[in-house]
Chain A
């Protein structure tokens, strides 16, 4: 079994209204040091497959077909072996 930790984030070139709203709230709380906030999504999927390569391939495909919208978002992931 493999565990994929997937991070989907807004492309940097596109205004992220959620990130902006959070940044403004942080500034109201006097966290002046905050320069930028980007909000994303985090997924964990466990994969029943027999090699790390296969797990990577499946995860790539999952991200492209459903988890990320390629117009607005990018993704990255980490794969680790779990269980036996």
Chain B
């Protein structure tokens, strides 16, 4: 299974993502510039955290117009897995691949902590290796991770089981404690916590590993969306 990590000017978790695939999942992975115009040949695309284009204007707002975006939208519309973490989540909402948006944390502080998350939906290509309602430890590191969507969108997220991870102790003010969601089709996921930073004991948690093994398992089982 071949992974692409899209690197933007200002991405700073791109190599964490790269090594999580290369050294832990042990699958082929390529660092791809955001100026690339094709994602042909890849089976999954990972959008890493950081501060793309300095987060000028709004997080993810400028990245929306990167050259790779038409290819990314095409890739997502084919039903292939796309995972956006942190700034990657913010970018996916700006592009419109995921509903809602991320705004400043409730208490206006950048938070860098391990946070317990609850797996709300384990029937996705990203979470099938977790137990439902399992509590996992994944670090967050963001100043703008306060998820917001209006009530109609929230209702629709709930109805379609698109809320995948929630915070146990909502650190940032997110609506309904939301930490991660998918699109309706279930093949695009965005989350603020960093699974790629929780893949080795020495990092403090290995709970992120199963997110990547879930993607691999779904791919090998020929399941795009359960």
Contact = CB atoms under 8 A, between A and B. Distances in A.
B57 A67 contact: yes
- State the 10 A-B residue pairs at the shortest beta-carbon distance, nearest first: A17-B104, A71-B101, A21-B108, A17-B108, A72-B101, A69-B101, A17-B106, A18-B104, A69-B58, A72-B103
B32 interface: no
A17 B107 contact: yes
A15 B58 contact: no
Contact of A17 (B65, B101, B149, B173): B173
Contacts of A66: 57, 61, 64-65
Contacts of B106: 15, 17
Interface residues of B, number: 20
B214 interface: no
A1 B148 CA distance: 38
Contacts of B93: 71
15 contacts: A15-B173, A17-B103, A17-B106, A17-B107, A17-B108, A18-B104, A20-B108, A21-B108, A41-B57, A66-B61, A66-B65, A69-B58, A69-B94, A71-B93, A72-B148
B146 interface: yes
Contacts of B149: 71
